[in-house]
Structure 1
Amino acid sequence: MGRIICAGLGPGAQDLMSLRSARAIGNARQIAYFRKPGRKGMARMIVEGMLHPEAAEHAMEYPVTTELPFASPEYRALLADFYDLWADRLAALAAAQDVVVLCEGDPFFYGSFMHLHARLQDRVPIEIIPGITGMSGCWTATGLPVTWGDDVLTVLPATLPEAELARRLADSDAAVIMKIGRNLPRLRAALSRAGRLEDAWLCIKGTMEGQRVLPLTEAGPEECPYFATVILHGNGRRPMREVRS
């Protein structure tokens, strides 16, 4: 029996991928990755030119993304069937040889592979190769430290209700907000309620070709895809020289 190896790809730039992930991808004969129907897929684009010439590719196409509310029974049922199907397919492939599943960022940080991982336990050996998270690539792109001293960092999905976003943003020194896209108006309102709108930076395609970093107040709705990231920097304790008169 082979293994299922989930390779964390890092924040997007190919040369920010770990050596372990690069080796696993280059040696694999079975490669699987998530994508929207009709799209090449971000994970597949990141590994362009890295695959073995004999590698067979398996595109796992989501049956639904933002067409239905996340909390709706239909959305949950469609996604559950999708993950069940691909868990079975990957387990069957791994009966003969290793299968490498690509995952942007780190597989255990909001990664779709987590849903397969839960379904594959005790069925096939699994190896997880961690990766640099997309958010660390984004805050590095701003050119400023995200936390200082005792700053508390909060990571939030913009899919939360406005009041919940505002409460958590007001209680945190530094924050990363993910999954933005059509949730931008609610996020702007929450940042304004928390008194943090002027502090927010938007990073699009962090570490990748076409990277853009700008104050959120200067960004239009059309400039904010789902996988953009908003950064609020902390301003906590740091050693400073005493000024003597």
Structure 2
Amino acid sequence: MGKVICAGLGPGDPDLMSVKSDRVIRAARRIAYFRKKGRAGQARSIVNGMLRDDVTEYAMEYPVTTELHFESEEYRRLMVDFYADWADRLADLARDDDIVVLCEGDPFFYGSFMHLHTRLQGRAEVDVLPAIPGMVGCWNVLDTPFTWGDDVLTVLMGTLPEAELTDHMRRADALVVMKTGRNLPAVRRALVATGRLQDAWLVEKGTMPAQRVAKLSEVGDADCPYFAIVLVHGQGRRPEAAL
């Protein structure tokens, strides 16, 4: 009997991967990873040069990404079928040997593997290896403390309705907005409405060679990939400076 092992890869820099994930990935005879059709896949790119020469690879290609609205019935049906199919395949593969599934960031923090994890329960032994979430890598590249004292950290999806984005931002101290891309205009308007645009940063591919850091106020709405992260630092309680 084998296992399905989901290895969290961390924010993108292979040096920030856990020792355990590094060891498991280098020893793996079989790996699987998510990717968009026609792309190498971010997870696969992170482990480039780490894999055994005789590894067998399984590319789990999403049937749809941003082509359909995520709330549409067709999108939901396609994704449900996709996860069900790959849960079946992984459970079958794990019957005789381990298979390692790669996941950017931490698998249980908005990771695609969560949808497989729920479907594999009772069908295969599953191990999940935790990792540094992508947002942690991104706020560290800004080289400024992100939360102070009793700041409340709020993590939002850019896919939320604009009114909900605005409402959450009004109550937030330190703020992270994930999944921006085509949602950036709504995110920007919400930041303007709450007086926080001038304090917002955009980090793309944080900790990776193609990393880009910019003030959000200086970035156009069309110049933002889906997985870039918007960050606003908290300004909470901190010790008084010594006189």
Is TM-score (shorter-chain normalized) higher than 0.5? yes
What do the CA deviations read for 1:181-207 (whole angstroms, capped 9, x no partner)?
000101000111111111100101100
User: In the aligned structure 2, how far is the partner of 1:89 from the partner of 1:231?
Assistant: 38
User: Deviation above 6 Å: which 4+ runs of structure 1?
Assistant: none
Q: 1:143 to 1:242 in 2, by over 3 A?
A: closer
Is the 8 Å Cα contact of residues 13 and 207 (structure 2) preserved in structure 1? yes
What do the CA deviations read for 1:99-150 (whole angstroms, capped 9, x no partner)?
0000000000010000000000011100000010000000001111110000
- Please, which runs of 5 or more residues in structure 2 have no aligned partner? none
* 2:14 corresponds to: 14
SS of 1:156 mapped into structure 2 = strand
What do the CA deviations read for 1:52-96 (whole angstroms, capped 9, x no partner)?
111100000000111111111111110000000000001111001
User: In the aligned structure 2, how far is the partner of 1:210 from the partner of 1:144?
Assistant: 21
What do the CA deviations read for 1:137-171 (whole angstroms, capped 9, x no partner)?
00001111110000000000000011100110110
Equivalent residue runs for 1:1-245 within 5 Å: 1-241=1-241, 243=243
Is the 8 Å Cα contact of residues 182 and 222 (structure 2) preserved in structure 1? no
Is the 8 Å Cα contact of residues 35 and 59 (structure 2) preserved in structure 1? yes
Q: How far has the Cα of 1:223 moved from its partner? A: 2.7
- Please, which runs of 5 or more residues in structure 1 have no aligned partner? none
Is the 8 Å Cα contact of residues 32 and 60 (structure 2) preserved in structure 1? yes
User: In the aligned structure 2, how far is the partner of 1:238 from the partner of 1:190?
Assistant: 28
Amino acid of the structure 1 residue aligned with 2:106 = D
* TM-score for both structures, normalised by structure 1: 0.98
SS of 2:131 mapped into structure 1 = coil
Is the 8 Å Cα contact of residues 29 and 52 (structure 2) preserved in structure 1? yes
User: In the aligned structure 2, how far is the partner of 1:197 from the partner of 1:188?
Assistant: 7
User: In the aligned structure 2, how far is the partner of 1:237 from the partner of 1:186?
Assistant: 30
Is the 8 Å Cα contact of residues 64 and 75 (structure 2) preserved in structure 1? yes
* TM-score for both structures, normalised by structure 2: 0.98
User: In the aligned structure 2, how far is the partner of 1:140 from the partner of 1:100?
Assistant: 28
User: In the aligned structure 2, how far is the partner of 1:112 from the partner of 1:137?
Assistant: 19
- What is the RMSD computed on CA atoms of the aligned residues? 0.8
Q: How far has the Cα of 1:242 moved from its partner? A: 5.7
User: In the aligned structure 2, how far is the partner of 1:198 from the partner of 1:163?
Assistant: 20
Amino acid of the structure 1 residue aligned with 2:156 = L
Amino acid of the structure 1 residue aligned with 2:213 = V
SS of 2:168 mapped into structure 1 = helix
Is the 8 Å Cα contact of residues 179 and 229 (structure 2) preserved in structure 1? yes
User: In the aligned structure 1, how far is the partner of 2:211 from the partner of 2:205?
Assistant: 5
Amino acid of the structure 2 residue aligned with 1:15 = D
Amino acid of the structure 1 residue aligned with 2:86 = W
Amino acid of the structure 2 residue aligned with 1:134 = G
